[in-house]
Amino acid sequence: MQRELLFKVLVIGDLGVGKTSIIKRYVHSIFSQHYRATIGVDFALKVIQWDHDTVVRLQLWDIAGQERYGNMTRVYYREAVGALVVFDCTRASTFDAVLKWKDDLDSKVTLNNGKPVPAVLLANKADQAASQHPRLDAFCRDNGFVGWFQTSAKENSNIEEAAHCLVENVLSNDESTPVEREPTTLVLSGYANATKEHLGCSSCPK
Ligand code: GTP
Ligand code: MG
């Protein structure tokens, strides 16, 4: 029998680093140069036939960069089991913000066993950087990221690999937990622009 796992994954990072573009590339195989800032949070669902008997449903929460200045992230982060933390490798300030996002994440959500949720670091817009980004292995080790990838939503590089790395880490946590995770959040299809009002049901505090 096939087992189906639903994982809530956050995509966070500063304004304009390419979070929405990465998700649209990953889920819908499209890319646009046009920038339209995300308001609040957007969703997408990626279904992966992980192995012969496992289907992984990744519920991707695309958090607006501007939300780091707001107070909704605690609500958005709830029950997440993994995160992609994105910066723009052409803008140093967005790399500086990576640790602020990581701290925000770790202070607001942990796994059931109290450990931090696995986070993968993405150096996006690799197609634009003049040279390769300096290696981030030591940075990841020191700051609790499970790995890092140079990605390009434009050229479709390394996004699948980064997601794969995250899922592997989520699964290894999941398999150490005896309870099967039930789908607890919204059932989503396609890419809907959801406002906080639409979210109202299961995610917002009463
Ligand atoms: P917020 O929703 O405001 O937090 O931004 P975001 O992180 O979702 O950024 P978004 O995906 O909207 O991308 C911002 C801009 O960067 C858009 O103009 C994209 O076309 C561009 N962009 C995103 N990824 C890449 C990439 O890999 N390479 C290049 N060259 N441009 C990219
Ligand atoms: Mg966006």
Residues 24-55 pLDDT 10s: 999 999 999 999 999 999 999 999 999 999 99
- CB burial string 89-109: b at 16+ within 10 A, e below: bbbeebbebbeebbebbbeeb
What is the tens place of the pLDDT at every residue in 104-127?
999 999 999 999 999 999 999 999
Distance 3 CA to ligand 2 centre (A): 32
- Name 3's bridge partners: 54
Ligand 1 near 35 CB (within 6 A): yes
What is the tens place of the pLDDT at every residue in 60-91?
999 999 998 888 999 999 999 999 999 999 99
Q: Record the pTM.
A: 0.87
Across the chain, mean pLDDT equals 87
- Tokens representing 137 are 């292995």
What's the confidence (pLDDT) of residue 174? 75
- Which of these, 26, 41, 9, lies nearest to 153 by C-alpha position? 26
- Tokens representing 17 are 């680093």
137-143's contacts with Cβ under 8 Å and 24+ in sequence apart are: 143/99, 143/102
* DSSP assignments along the chain, one per residue: --EEEEEEEEEE-STTSSHHHHHHHHHH----S------SEEEEEEEEEEETTEEEEEEEEEE-GGGGGSS-HHHHHTT--EEEEEEETT-HHHHHTHHHHHHHHHHH---TTSPPPPEEEEEE-TTTSSSPPPP-HHHHHHHT-SEEEE-BTTTTBSHHHHHHHHHHHHHHHHHTS-SPPP--S----S-----HHHHHHHHS--
Position in ligand 1 atom list of the atom nearest CA 33: 20
Q: Which of 11, 14, 21 to mutate to test the pocket of ligand 1 (most atoms within 8 A of CB)?
A: 21
Distance 163 CA to ligand 1 centre (A): 18
Q: With a cut of 60, say whether residue 194 has pLDDT above it.
A: no
Helices 19-28 and 159-175 cross at an angle (nearest 10°) of 90
Ligand 1 near 33 CB (within 6 A): yes
